[in-house]
Amino acid sequence: MMLLIVIIALALIFDFINGFHDAANSIATIVSTKVLTPFQAVLWAAMFNFVAFFIAKYLIGGFGIADTVSKTVIADFVTLPIIFSGLIAAIIWNLLTWWLGIPSSSSHTLIGGFAGAAIAKWGSLTVVKGAVILKIASFIFLAPLIGMMVAMVISVILQWSVKRVNPHKADSWFKHFQLVSSALFSIGHGLNDSQKVMGIIAAALIATHIQHPEIGYGINSINDLPNWVAFACFTAISLGTMSGGWKIVKTMGTRITKVTPFEGVVAETAGALTLYLTEFLKIPVSTTHTITGAIIGVGSVKRLSAVRWGVTRQLLVAWILTIPVSALIAAIVYWALGHHLIS
């Protein structure tokens, strides 16, 4: 029982860290274009992170991404020490990349940690659902690619739409539009990232039901997940977003390509549409990868040399390393601590 409480607390701490780690994704462009101050921007993003709860609960009517995450490891092989070790690894990697200013994926960190601890426990790859891991891993490349392509299409359409408008007037329009586009992206961030933590908590509650039914706190499936779990997860990520993440804001807002209000609107809208698509497909993706691809797409339409490809290559390497490094850290944590814990 105590370990379950610790795991839920760690999951919400990870969710909070995810908020300030990924805050830059939805506010970097709006801050770099000086539409809002950093403080105003994080409040704006946090509010729409929380609005996402009501959209998922009452409009979409379910939490499909949470279900996918909870099934990363075959249920019969999930134990509380595995989940504990995976969360510790995910928190370590998230804090390290935040400190270094690298916009890595909190999603893949969590998936890698969960899978790595399970493999360390059972000594076999068969305990993880390979198809689920492969589908999630494929979107390391597909999410930014889709975001980039959507951004390029939107760029061309908007450029044609305002070609006869006075540039200063158009710039003013896009500064106002950025409030809408950043809100749309923040909703996508809340929908996507909060559900990943919900999936981990669901896996812990299902494992508790299977291994310790006498406790009475477990659940049969994610359909039985208590409402307080969803509410707590969306609240934690919103509070995390309010705390900001300024090192990553700099990378996302200025180092990849110089962003204007027009380009900010395009990147955020393209990123939001990509996140809504993956929500529909119930695939957990990285909001970091998505917005990065969109920023590259809008920069490429301007001219290929506008994109700092050296920075982009560094980010790609960090993305590719996230799942295996998180898995390795989780395995080390499990061998050092996890196997001493009582489920």
DSSP string, 77-146: G--HHHHHHHHHHHHHHHHHHHHHT----HHHHHHHHHHHHHHHHHS-GGGB-HHHHHHHHHHHHHHHHH
Inter-axis angle of helices 167-211 and 106-122, to 10 degrees?
A: 20
In order along the chain (343 residues), what is the average pLDDT of each group of 10 residues? 90 87 70 76 85 89 87 88 93 84 77 93 89 86 91 92 84 88 91 90 90 76 86 89 59 53 89 94 86 83 58 69 90 82 58
Q: Is there a domain that residue 100 lies in?
A: yes
Domain annotation covers residue 274: yes
Task: Give domain status of residue 180, yes or no.
Answer: yes
Expressed as residue numbers, the domain containing 317 is 2-336
Q: What is the DSSP letter of 284?
A: -
Beta-carbon contacts of 154 under 8 Å, excluding residues fewer than 6 positions away, are 266, 269, 270
Q: Tell whether 62 is covered by a domain.
A: yes
Would you state the pLDDT for residue 254?
Answer: 45
Residue at 98 is within a domain: yes
- Separation CA 110–CA 87 (nearest Å): 7
pTM as predicted: 0.84
Nearest to 137 by CA among 10, 283, 272: 283
In a domain, 342, yes or no: no
Residue at 248 is within a domain: yes
In a domain, 131, yes or no: yes
**CA-CA distance, 67 to 231, in Å (whole number)?**
16
Using alpha carbons, select from 197, 178, 169 the residue that is nearest to residue 253: 178
Residue count of the chain, please give it.
Answer: 343
Instruction: Tell the burial category of 134 from Cβ atoms under 10 Å away from its Cβ (0-12, 13-18, 19+).
Output: exposed
Total tally of structural domains belonging to the chain: 1
46 and 241 in contact (C-beta within 8 Å)? Answer: yes
Rounded Cα distance between 58 and 54, Å, is 6
> For residue 256, what pLDDT is reported?
43
